[in-house]
Homo-oligomer: A and B are copies of this chain.
Amino acid sequence: MTQITESIASAIGADRLVTDAAALAAHRTDYWILAHLRRRQGRLADPPLAVVQPRSSAEVAAIVKLARARRTPIVPYGGGSGVVGGATPEAGALVIDLRRMDRLLEVNDTALTASAEAGLLGGEFERRLNARGYVSGHYPQSLELASLGGLVATRSAGQFSTLYGNVEDLCLGLEAVLPNGEIARIVPTPRSATGPSLREIFLGSEGTLGIVTEVTLRIFPKPERRAMSSWSFDGMEPALDAIRRIVRVGWRPAVVRLYDGFEASQWHFKQWVPVNKCALLLLSEGPAGLVEAEERACAEIATAAGGSALGVAPVEHWLERRNHVPSWDQFLDQEMMVDTIEVSAAWDRVATLYDRVIAALRDRPGMLVASAHSSHSYRQGTNLYVTFAVKPENFAEAEAAYVGAWAAVMEATLAAGGSISHHHGIGRMRVPWIERELGTAYPVLRALKRALDPDGLMNPGVLLPA
């Protein structure tokens, strides 16, 4: 054992330490395809120094203090479902795996909140709530893989976000271990004006400003009624306009998903959607009277915008398959690099953003697929969830092909006035663009980092350049 693992063992117990090769190998990256490629090519960083599995915030605090004293970099690790390398430690880093901290601590029926340790997985949290008559309202595709702490730390978005909000709307309080090893508890309140909202510092911090160890989230009574519909459109522009008109006046269908011609008619919904038509899926839930009124209003707006009704079957089809997560190996075996990139823009820019991003990808050599859907809409704009598949002539150059595709999307997004990440975060993959994304506000993020983590030991190289 190294000095640091010895001191951790003596401080909190040797049983909290994992140093076997398999466990170390399992924590060399998360769900980032580029790291999986590098591993195949023998270019991934060596395994971390050790994996620690604390059982309490106090244990996390003790570990952070010991690591800090020895200037050892720390990488917090939740479910490992991140797709941009946010949990991809450099060799010699200490991984703090939060998965053993998975207790549901409290469900408050009157205040409609639930508190849990950070390592509880989203799917398990949802089932525990369902058994008591509640829902979490937060359903990322990674629901069964992602930890609650990870969802908070990466600023996650769920598939039902138009109604329930994203994780920053759901997370009312949290506990975090600061880079100096002190525990900060941000107490949930319905609403306060007691200075800046400190929880926002940790929402999206990706382990660089502290380690989220506990969260308090809003919960919701199971909705009384659900209504579903789907619509085909001739193109993205009229369909985007239909969404804009629905949310503009105050309707909030939980699910609002618009697939472009390729994704709708040649991929996900080909049994229902005519060739090259787009497909809009809507799902409303809540009190019966609200859902009925919303369903009627959405149908009127979609029809007026040129939509043709496709019925409920496409929505049911999506509901059944929505959380399928592909294995990167199946693509790497075929010498393809496949990924998704989510960006966002205001309504007056999103059609241009779509055109530019797709065009930029199609210009890339070896590009097999370049398509997108919108999956999270707001009164001010929406996101685009871009999928690409590239098969380079020479697979030894797969990294360049992959990074080139990413760069094309990032540059097209910045040029169109969009934002470079809607909900996957910055991780390692987007670091080259974070300064341009934030512009003159970038020094504020740098100042925050320096203030809380002056030695730069927390997840170095993620969110900000190391």
What residues of chain A have their CB less than 8 Å away from a CB belonging to chain B? 108, 110-113, 154-157, 163, 166, 168, 172, 178, 182-198, 200-206, 209, 218, 220-221, 223-224, 244, 248-251, 286-287, 289-290, 292-294, 296-297, 344-349, 376, 378-383, 418-426, 430, 434, 437-441, 443-445, 447-448, 450-452, 463
Bound-state CA distance A50–B448 (Å) is 32
Chain B residues near A286 (CB-CB < 8 A): 249-250
Bound-state CA distance A297–B225 (Å) is 14
Closest to A173 in B: B441
Decide: A198 and B287 in contact? CB cutoff 8 A. no
Bound-state CA distance A314–B377 (Å) is 37
Chain B residues near A382 (CB-CB < 8 A): 190
Chain B residues near A156 (CB-CB < 8 A): 193
Bound-state CA distance A154–B111 (Å) is 26
Chain B residues near A182 (CB-CB < 8 A): 440, 443
Chain B residues near A423 (CB-CB < 8 A): 191, 193
Which of B185, B251, B447 is close to A441, meaning CB atoms less than 8 Å apart?
B185
Decide: B203 and A196 in contact? CB cutoff 8 A. yes
Bound-state CA distance A420–B452 (Å) is 26
Bound-state CA distance A111–B351 (Å) is 12
Bound-state CA distance A346–B439 (Å) is 38
Decide: A441 and B184 in contact? CB cutoff 8 A. yes
Q: Enumerate 21 A-B pairs (CB-CB under 8 Å) in ascending A order.
A: A111-B380, A111-B381, A112-B347, A172-B380, A184-B443, A187-B419, A187-B439, A188-B346, A189-B419, A191-B422, A191-B423, A193-B422, A194-B426, A194-B434, A195-B204, A197-B200, A198-B445, A201-B444, A201-B448, A220-B250, A287-B293
Decide: B194 and A438 in contact? CB cutoff 8 A. yes
Q: Looking at the assembled complex, report how far the CB atom of A119 sits from the nearest CB atom of chain B, in whole angstroms.
A: 21
Chain B residues near A157 (CB-CB < 8 A): 191, 193
Decide: B289 and A296 in contact? CB cutoff 8 A. yes
Chain B residues near A419 (CB-CB < 8 A): 187, 189-192, 194
Q: Contacts A108-B346, A224-B249, A251-B290 given: A195-B380 contact, CB under 8 Å?
A: no
Chain B residues near A188 (CB-CB < 8 A): 346, 380
Interface centre among A189, A193, A198, A347 (most CB of B within 10 A): A193
Decide: A189 and B346 in contact? CB cutoff 8 A. yes
Decide: B379 and A112 in contact? CB cutoff 8 A. yes
Decide: B444 and A287 in contact? CB cutoff 8 A. no
Bound-state CA distance A330–B201 (Å) is 44
Decide: A190 and B444 in contact? CB cutoff 8 A. no
Which of B166, B221, B349, B438 is close to A195, meaning CB atoms less than 8 Å apart?
B438
Decide: A425 and B380 in contact? CB cutoff 8 A. no
Which of B189, B203, B250 is close to A197, meaning CB atoms less than 8 Å apart?
B203
Chain B residues near A200 (CB-CB < 8 A): 196-197, 200-201
Bound-state CA distance A131–B422 (Å) is 34
Chain B residues near A192 (CB-CB < 8 A): 155, 344, 419-422, 437
Decide: A380 and B218 in contact? CB cutoff 8 A. yes
Chain B residues near A344 (CB-CB < 8 A): 189-192
Chain B residues near A250 (CB-CB < 8 A): 163, 220, 223, 286-287, 290
Bound-state CA distance A296–B293 (Å) is 13
Known: A155-B193, A157-B191, A190-B344. 14 other contacts (CB 8 A): A111-B381, A154-B193, A157-B193, A168-B197, A188-B380, A189-B344, A190-B419, A191-B422, A195-B438, A196-B201, A198-B444, A200-B201, A201-B201, A223-B250
Closest to A219 in B: B379
Decide: B421 and A190 in contact? CB cutoff 8 A. no
Which of B196, B209, B348, B418 is close to A111, meaning CB atoms less than 8 Å apart?
B348
Chain B residues near A249 (CB-CB < 8 A): 221, 224, 286-287
Chain B residues near A422 (CB-CB < 8 A): 191-193
Bound-state CA distance A370–B450 (Å) is 47
Bound-state CA distance A183–B441 (Å) is 8
Chain B residues near A451 (CB-CB < 8 A): 447-448, 450-451
Decide: B293 and A198 in contact? CB cutoff 8 A. no
Bound-state CA distance A440–B198 (Å) is 11
Chain B residues near A293 (CB-CB < 8 A): 287, 289-290, 292-293
Chain B residues near A111 (CB-CB < 8 A): 346-349, 380-381
Which of B292, B418, B424 is close to A193, meaning CB atoms less than 8 Å apart?
B424
Decide: B201 and A194 in contact? CB cutoff 8 A. no
Chain B residues near A424 (CB-CB < 8 A): 193
